[in-house]
Amino acid sequence: MTEEAEQTDRLQEASTSSLIGEDTENNYRIWKKNAPYVYDYLSTTSLLWPSLTVQFFPDITHSEGEVADDYILQRLLHGTFTLGQSAVDSISILQVPTYTGLNKHIQIDKLDYNQEKEEFEVNAPSLPKQKVLQKINQFGDVNKLSYMPQNPNVIASANNFGDMLIFERTKHKSFQKSIIDDIEANKPQLKLTAKAEVFAMDWNKNREGYLISGDIKGNISLYDLRDYSKSQGLSNSKSWKSSSDVNDIEWFPTHDSLFGFVEESGDMSIRDIRGDIIHKQLPSPINSIAMSPHISTIFATGDSKGLINVWDLRNLDEPVKNFTPHSKSITQLKWNPKHTQVLASSSTDCSVKLHNVSKEEPTVFQHLGHMLGVNDFDWSYADEWMIASVADDNSLHIWKPTQSVQDTI
């Protein structure tokens, strides 16, 4: 590591540490001591910069070798949020090894307690280290990342300059550690310019190349990337104007023309790109919206006071379920891809929580390992209970609740 990189690392660690209080550090130590009892899998990584966004790729690679049955390789997408402290920001694709047969190696009566680390250690096959497969540099903070469902090699990145940069991953080189890589931005395959900074963005799951975005000035834009030509750009696009900052936006997964979005003003809206729109005014700013992949009319919203509402599109007069699992603002909601009733949420209260919305007391598990607000999380395609989460303390956690917790969900 160069002297300049070491200095940047020290400054970043000092800046992060100054934001973490003594109570938070004590709670973290308690969580860490108890982690072996509440997780089937837990991996914690310290990133150089915090990330606002994380997403598992759908592909899964099975390992080859002596312990081939014990782990798999997954790819994970995240980006840097440096607030201009770095010359360029970057999109990273990580290769993440995770156990599939860890339990058969664990002997609970032979757990070794490491006094120095203050944690239990398990005698199991060693995993390869996480590694960066590819890094794509860009100008501006990475506010939001999302790959196209029909072609995961196509990645959309929204930055703080109001640009949405479209990268075709295979047209950029694999990761190499060099000074040039750290200071030169990669040229995107396509640059879409919004009217203001974008944090809300989603690909249509039924129409290839359909990308929707919402910016902090209330502008909503729809782009059809299939209509792009080098000579004329994008000739086929639509736009709408909302009342305030668009905090989140998402297509209904079973419909090619219907999307929902939520605003800082408390507005919740469902729009059909063919013309119709439904509004619902709520008392607090809404930060997240999540459409159920299982029931075509069900979706959830999370607000700035930690409240989750579950809605049925057929009757928006009142939510079908509401509860307040967080003490601070909700940052993200996502339904479990395989379990109809399971919804996860993250918050600036430093937690990610799992809920069974069919239960009277919905919250069934809480991940408390982050020391600052959690920005984003995503469910794994390889394991129905595995989650990756990123927070303002520069941490990337990949975790899975213990089997006993899964059984109660």
pLDDT digits (tens, 9 = 90+) for 83-97: 988 879 999 999 999
Split at pLDDT 50, 70, 90, the class of 10 is: very low
Q: What is the pLDDT of residue 294?
A: 96
H or E element that contains 25: helix 22-38
The pLDDT tens digits of the residues spanning 97-128 come to 987 765 555 555 556 666 676 666 655 556 78
Residue 6 confidence (pLDDT) above 50: no
- What value does the mean pLDDT of the chain take? 88
- For the record, the structure tokens of 95 come out as 């290769």
Residue 64 confidence (pLDDT) above 70: no
| CA 133 remoteness from chain centre | 19
Q: What is the pLDDT of residue 181?
A: 54
SS3 category, 263: strand
CA distance 352 to 350: 7
Split at pLDDT 50, 70, 90, the class of 235 is: low
CA distance 409 to 402: 11
The pLDDT tens digits of the residues spanning 345-372 come to 999 999 999 999 999 999 999 999 999 9
Q: What is the pLDDT of residue 111?
A: 60
Q: What is the pLDDT of residue 122?
A: 59
Residue 59 confidence (pLDDT) above 60: yes
Task: Using alpha carbons, select from 302, 291, 292, 273 the residue that is nearest to residue 338.
Answer: 292
Residue 8 confidence (pLDDT) above 50: no
Q: What is the pLDDT of residue 161?
A: 92
pTM of the model: 0.89
Beta strands 387-391 and 395-401: pairing type? antiparallel
Task: Taking the CA atoms of 3, 9, 15 and 20 in sequence, report the sign of the dihedral they define.
Answer: negative
Which class is domain 21-103+118-408? mainly beta
Name which of 37-51, 137-151, 183-197, 269-283 the model is least confident about.
Answer: 183-197
Q: What is the pLDDT of residue 1?
A: 36
Split at pLDDT 50, 70, 90, the class of 265 is: very high
Residue 308 confidence (pLDDT) above 50: yes
The pLDDT tens digits of the residues spanning 29-51 come to 999 999 989 999 999 999 999 99
Q: Which of 55-69, 82-96, 330-344 has the highest mean pLDDT?
A: 330-344
Q: What is the pLDDT of residue 87?
A: 78
Residue 332 confidence (pLDDT) above 60: yes
Name which of 56-70, 186-200, 316-330 the model is least confident about.
Answer: 56-70
Q: What is the pLDDT of residue 406?
A: 92
Alpha carbon separation from 93 to 130, 228, 282 (Å, rounded): 11, 26, 38
Residues 6 or more apart whose CB falls under 8 angstroms from that of 156 comprise 144, 145, 146, 147, 148, 164, 165, 166, 201, 203, 211
CA distance 225 to 233: 9
Split at pLDDT 50, 70, 90, the class of 62 is: confident
Name which of 119-123, 185-189, 269-273 the model is least confident about.
Answer: 119-123
Q: What is the pLDDT of residue 143?
A: 97
Residue 230 confidence (pLDDT) above 60: no
Name which of 108-122, 204-218, 302-316, 379-393 the model is least confident about.
Answer: 108-122
**270-287 mean pLDDT:** 95
Residues 6 or more apart whose CB falls under 8 angstroms from that of 44 comprise 369, 395, 396, 397
CA distance 339 to 357: 11
Q: What is the pLDDT of residue 228?
A: 75
Largest CA distance in the chain: 69
Q: What is the pLDDT of residue 2?
A: 36
CA distance 321 to 357: 7
**194-222 mean pLDDT:** 95
Q: Which residues of 278-305 are buried (b: 16+ CB within 10 A; e: fewer)?
A: eebebeebbbbbbbbbbeeebbbbbbbe
Split at pLDDT 50, 70, 90, the class of 242 is: very high
Sheet of 71-79, strands arranged across: 54-62, 71-79, 89-99, 131-138
- For the record, the structure tokens of 215 come out as 């910016």
Beta strands 237-241 and 267-272: pairing type? unpaired
